[in-house]
Structure 1
Amino acid sequence: MTDIFFTLSKVFWTIAQPDHFLLLMLALGLLLWKRFLGVLLVWLSVLMLVIISFFPVGNYLLRPLESQFMPATLPDSIAGIIVLGGGEDAELSAIHGSPQFNSAAERLMVVPQLLKQYPDAKVIFTGGSGSLLRPEYRGGDVASQWLERQNLRERLIVERDSRNTFQNAIYTKELIEQYAENQDKWLLVTSAFHMPRSMGVFRNAGINIIAYPVDFRTGEDRIRPDLTWNMHDFKTATREWIGLFVYYLTDKTTELLPTPRSE
């Protein structure tokens, strides 16, 4: 059932991601150009592209997500560290024979620092393949290779079968039940914009966690004539908001927009 959900989500996102959706609007509008609907679709798509080209629309959508869980005061002891995959480029890593990363690389880069602070802590890295067409390339393999180069491989537990955030939580829960030696809280490391959905899913799985957000994306709200960068942020925000709604509607989390708790 989880594989069906993964497949449907990938097909849906291929169509719904803003750049593809605007292209479809434009193409449909040109096909129907002699009708009012066609003219409307063309001008709407052009107007939206102009707005995204000059204004940081993604900032406005990402800021409520990134501000939900700010960096917390860390406790003296923890059970371990959970790192969500997504910062590694598994396909490029396999092609070039060395770890390659994307803009979310801080998810892994922060691990050595945390392990110095917690010398007895283990790390659970959870991340397989998020690709529908190339599932053989897995983030867990990249994480294992990179942390081995930092001489930290012996403190790493790799989960390389999960394909989305829901599976991250389910498979991590199984590893915690197998390896956890105490009942302290776990640090959950992921991108700040992804933290609300991650916290909701991991809480729902019954894991005792503290948010440790990294990889902040929001900057100044100013005119920024850069379609590529603005569209990238807008796509990231759109995907995350859709993910929050879908996870809530499918009972993968009990909170539409999870917030910090006092415990």
Structure 2
Amino acid sequence: MYVYLSKIVPLFLMPLGLIIFAAVLVLLLLVTGRRRLAAWLLSFTVLLLWLAAMPIVAGSLYGRLESRFPPEPLARIPVSSCIVVLGGAVGLPFAPRQDIELTEAVDRVYKAVQLYREGKANRVFVAAGNQPRSESGPSEAALIGELLVEWGVPADAIQLEGRSRNTRENAVNIKPMLEATGCDRSLLVTSAAHMQRALASFKEVGLYAYPVSTDVRAIRRTEYTAMDFLPDAHALAMTSDAIREWMGQKVYQWNGWN
């Protein structure tokens, strides 16, 4: 039940959910003849949408998350016992797709390949189950495993954990696998914005992990143009992702998982 709620409730707290809710209120106010209040609420809704969809706002919010664990050059990353890469990197091959779908976070898989090739560890663990809406398909871990093999990692160097559905379960479910193989120092690979919550979750269950951040979306800018202040659908999605991650961090703190 928690997994379902954790995916559904945030939708109503995202900018788009709040805007839809506000629009419904505006209609109700108009129906009841409260036109002035409806006009104020509509103005606020338009302003909220504009702000959330501005690239300069999205980049600032998301960049604050990413700045806590910025990516490092491969040369600075220490040699460790194993690599642990988290899911969220590929979409399942549901019809009409003929292949797996590479998402924006597929950088995680590529970074794991880089680490293996550079000899930073000789074993790769994948922690990635499916969300409730995709439980009928193969696990994401299995698909990532196929991608790792295709990109040059030997199959016998890969171990899969395909039951976890969130960051907390990633840490809990991968722990016995790491302990069984003697991996006491792992390189944890995930998106830069997600690293704080992932690293804290691993630490909470007693796992040492060195952060290897990737999938950086907010680019540092020194100059801005008018386009940075105009609404953009990609920026709206980035703002929503930043808010979702902040909410995730707070929920994990309340539950004592951080």
Change (3 A) 1:67 1:120: closer
Q: Which residue in the other structure is 1:133 paired with?
A: 133
Alpha-carbon RMSD across the aligned residues, in angstroms, is 2.0
Which amino acid in structure 2 is aligned with residue 233 of structure 1? M
Conserved 8 A contact 1:29-1:40: no
The alpha-carbon deviation at position 237 of structure 1 amounts to 0.3
The alpha-carbon deviation at position 136 of structure 1 amounts to 2.3
Residues of 1 paired with 2:236 and 2:248: CA distance?
18
Residues of 2 paired with 1:70 and 1:26: CA distance?
38
- When normalised by structure 2's length, the TM-score is 0.87
Change (3 A) 1:204 1:113: same
- Choose the corresponding residue for 2:251, options 229, 236, 246: 246
Q: Secondary structure at the match of 1:110?
A: helix
Q: Which residue in the other structure is 1:28 paired with?
A: 25
Change (3 A) 1:230 1:100: same
Identity %: 26
Alignment of 1:212-251 (within 5 A): 212-219=212-219, 220=221, 222=224, 223-251=228-256
Alignment of 1:105-254 (within 5 A): 105-118=106-119, 121-130=122-131, 132-137=132-137, 138-152=139-153, 153-180=155-182, 183=184, 185-219=185-219, 220=221, 222=224, 223-253=228-258
**Partner deviation per Cα, 1:115-138 (whole Å, 9 max, x = no partner):** 1112752111101113x3232233
**Partner deviation per Cα, 1:212-262 (whole Å, 9 max, x = no partner):** 000111123732534211101101101000101111011111xxxxxxxxx
Gap runs ≥5 in structure 1: 254-263
Change (3 A) 1:227 1:23: farther
- When normalised by structure 1's length, the TM-score is 0.86
**Partner deviation per Cα, 1:97-128 (whole Å, 9 max, x = no partner):** 42321111100012221111127521111011
Residues of 2 paired with 1:166 and 1:227: CA distance?
32
Which amino acid in structure 1 is aligned with residue 233 of structure 2? T
The alpha-carbon deviation at position 19 of structure 1 amounts to 1.3
Q: Secondary structure at the match of 1:218?
A: coil
Instruction: Count residues in correspondence.
Output: 245
**Partner deviation per Cα, 1:3-44 (whole Å, 9 max, x = no partner):** x22111112023222212212211222222333554333221
Gap runs ≥5 in structure 2: none
Which amino acid in structure 2 is aligned with residue 116 of structure 1? R
Change (3 A) 1:122 1:47: same
Q: Which residue in the other structure is 2:8 paired with?
A: 11
Structure 1 residue 74 corresponds to structure 2 residue 74: no
**Partner deviation per Cα, 1:47-89 (whole Å, 9 max, x = no partner):** 11122344432222112211111235212x3110010101111
Q: Which residue in the other structure is 1:257 paired with?
A: none
